[in-house]
Amino acid sequence: MEISELYQVYQKYPHIVTDSRQVRENTIFFSLRGERFNGNRFAADALKKGSRYAVIDDPEIADNEQFILVNNCLETLQELAAHHRRQLDIPIIAITGSNGKTTTKELMAELLSAQYIVKATAGNLNNHIGVPLTLLGMDSTTELGIVEMGANHVGEIAFLCELTRPDYGLVTNVGKAHLEGFGSIEGVKQAKGELYRYLGEHGGLIFSDAGNVMLQEMISGIDTGIGYYGESEDAICSGEIISSDPFLSVRLSFRDADDMEISTGLVGSYNLENILAAVAVGLHFRIRPHNIQAGLQGWSGNNMRSERLETDSNILIMDAYNANPTSMMAALENFRQQKHKRKILILGDMLELGDTATDSHTEILGYIPGMDCEEVFLVGPIFSELQVTGDIKRFVVVDELANWLDQHPLRDSLILLKASRGIGLERLKDKL
């Protein structure tokens, strides 16, 4: 089936699912393949559950007209999304970066929603599957699109830009993330810079942190419009931290309005840059300062990204969705500044660092003695193999620590949990 024909089907049934457990009436099920699964095996079940059609790439199961046979389901999904984007006459903002992109995206969506109907990436569905699904979730009522783009190899952002055709773009920062795929920090810069290059080639507008030297180096030579935020006389907005204990309070300065003090529900001074990025975009789209204030004060993270939780026994800072050396150091520095009579660290391995893994984890170990914490727990095979000094408890897997906590419960403590998602520190919440 040609994409134009499939698009006509999609227009009648504009709800795409790739997980048979999420099927509902009148959806189109795409039978994607992965290393450990083959969606074709679930296509018939999806139809039984209510899907109108199942897009498949296995001819052996195409036994009636509800099965749409294509050469490759993933490529077809991407082509359908690209075709749909060409029909959408709306501005799209693309966001990438090593750290902070999901928080920035959520803040941006919160602010822009005050005056626009916004469709933004759900969660962190920011890859070669999530981006097409985000685009296909936009419809004739959508007035602004926000697309988060993730990558772990050079060329992925460029590909996602071709699908998305962004009019605006923002790189939050460049750090030591996904080095296993990028090879080096230069590889990270090259990959994230693909968004800048696309915008430069297509006359888009870049939003950039004026105080970030690395980002300014990456922008150098890009011939397109730039909206600065942060430390610059030309900045759309700038800000300073009033307090970060326990939540972040900031003073924002606007180019065309009075200064404003805002108390947020965000944890961590590193979120100032995320706030300024979202505010700069909001101001560009003429969001009023009082709406910006209301949006920032009413939003708090609830996705294991610097999420502050109070249990019956402790206060938790749950930052267990992602970790790399840059974000780990930022989290530790913020935790060091927090005031509490009993502070505890629970750190897990940082994944996808390739050959730099041992050195990166050793560097983190060197920072721990200055944290003034009552207890330190390390989880994961990398941390477990390193030499440590002092009374640091190590566990290869999170279940071992969970069992230990059953026998030695923690009480009346402020606890930071920071690790890559693959370590599973969120499973400790019920033990704390």
Each residue of 257-284: pLDDT tens digit?
A: 889 999 998 888 889 999 999 999 999 9
Question: Based on the domain organization, do 374 and 253 belong to the same domain?
Answer: no
pLDDT at position 110 is 93
Does the structure show a pLDDT above 80 at 368?
yes
Distance separating alpha carbons of residues 164 and 132, to the nearest angstrom? 8
Does the structure show a pLDDT above 70 at 302?
no
Mean pLDDT of the chain: 91
Q: Which of 248, 275, 298 finishes a domain?
A: 298
Question: Based on the domain organization, do 412 and 380 belong to the same domain?
Answer: yes
pLDDT at position 67 is 96
Tell me the average pLDDT across 346-370.
90
Backbone φ and ψ of 40, nearest 5°: -60, -30
pLDDT at position 181 is 62
Distance separating alpha carbons of residues 34 and 280, to the nearest angstrom? 39
Q: Which of 271, 298, 325 finishes a domain?
A: 298
Question: Based on the domain organization, do 367 and 393 belong to the same domain?
Answer: yes
Burial class from Cβ neighbours inside 10 Å (0-12, 13-18, 19+) for residue 15 reads: middle
Question: Based on the domain organization, do 173 and 261 belong to the same domain?
Answer: yes
Residues 251-264: pLDDT tens digits? Answer: 999 988 889 999 99
Give the angle 268-189-330 at the CA atoms, nearest 5°.
15
pLDDT at position 197 is 96
Higher pLDDT, 389 or 304: 389
Give one word for 145, left, alpha or beta, with left for phi > 0 and alpha for psi -120 to 50: beta
pLDDT at position 266 is 87
DSSP 33: B
Q: In what order do the strands lie in the sheet with 375-379?
A: 307-310, 315-319, 414-418, 343-348, 375-379, 392-395
Does the structure show a pLDDT above 80 at 326?
yes
In a domain, 82, yes or no: no
Q: Which two tokens stand for residue 250?
A: 């900031």
Higher pLDDT, 242 or 324: 242
Q: Count the Cβ atoms, other than its own, within 10 Å of residue 287.
A: 21
Residue range(s) defining the domain that contains residue 57: 3-73
Model confidence at 303, pLDDT cuts 50, 70, 90, reads low
Q: Fill in the amino acid letter for 291.
A: N
Instruction: Give which of 279, 246, 238 is closest to 263, Cα–Cα.
Output: 246
In a domain, 83, yes or no: no
Question: Based on the domain organization, do 23 and 145 belong to the same domain?
Answer: no
Question: Based on the domain organization, do 69 and 94 belong to the same domain?
Answer: no
pLDDT at position 327 is 84
Residues 7-33: pLDDT tens digits? Answer: 999 999 999 999 988 899 999 999 999
As beta bridge partners, residue 67 has 54
Q: By the 8 A CB rule, do 65 and 42 touch?
A: no
In a domain, 335, yes or no: yes
pTM: predicted TM-score of the whole model, two decimal places: 0.81
Q: How many domains does the chain have?
A: 3
In a domain, 173, yes or no: yes
- Alpha-carbon distance values, 255 to 20, 233, 260, 277 (Å): 50, 9, 12, 14
As beta bridge partners, residue 225 has 205
Residues 90-134: pLDDT tens digits? Answer: 999 999 998 889 999 999 999 999 999 999 999 778 999 999 999
Residues 172-215: pLDDT tens digits? Answer: 998 766 566 666 888 888 889 999 999 999 999 999 999 999 99
Question: Based on the domain organization, do 222 and 253 belong to the same domain?
Answer: yes
As beta bridge partners, residue 252 has 239, 260
Question: Based on the domain organization, do 177 and 213 belong to the same domain?
Answer: yes
**Measured in Å, how far apart are the chain's first and last C-alpha atoms?**
54
Percent of the chain topping pLDDT 70: 97
User: What contacts 24+ positions apart, CB below 8 Å, involve 17-20?
Assistant: 17/46, 17/51, 18/77, 18/129, 18/133, 20/45, 20/46, 20/49
Does the structure show a pLDDT above 90 at 149?
yes
In a domain, 140, yes or no: yes
Instruction: Give which of 47, 51, 43 is closest to 70, Cα–Cα.
Output: 43
Distance separating alpha carbons of residues 267 and 419, to the nearest angstrom? 16
In a domain, 209, yes or no: yes
Q: Which two tokens stand for residue 165?
A: 């055709």
Question: Based on the domain organization, do 68 and 138 belong to the same domain?
Answer: no
Model confidence at 391, pLDDT cuts 50, 70, 90, reads confident
pLDDT at position 178 is 59
pLDDT at position 179 is 64
Tell me the average pLDDT across 364-386.
92
pLDDT at position 229 is 95
Q: Which two tokens stand for residue 7?
A: 């698009």
Strands 53-56 and 67-69: parallel
Question: Based on the domain organization, do 289 and 312 belong to the same domain?
Answer: no
Q: By the 8 A CB rule, do 285 and 112 touch?
A: yes
Q: By the 8 A CB rule, do 305 and 375 touch?
A: no
As beta bridge partners, residue 120 has 146
pLDDT at position 283 is 96
Q: By the 8 A CB rule, do 320 and 423 touch?
A: yes
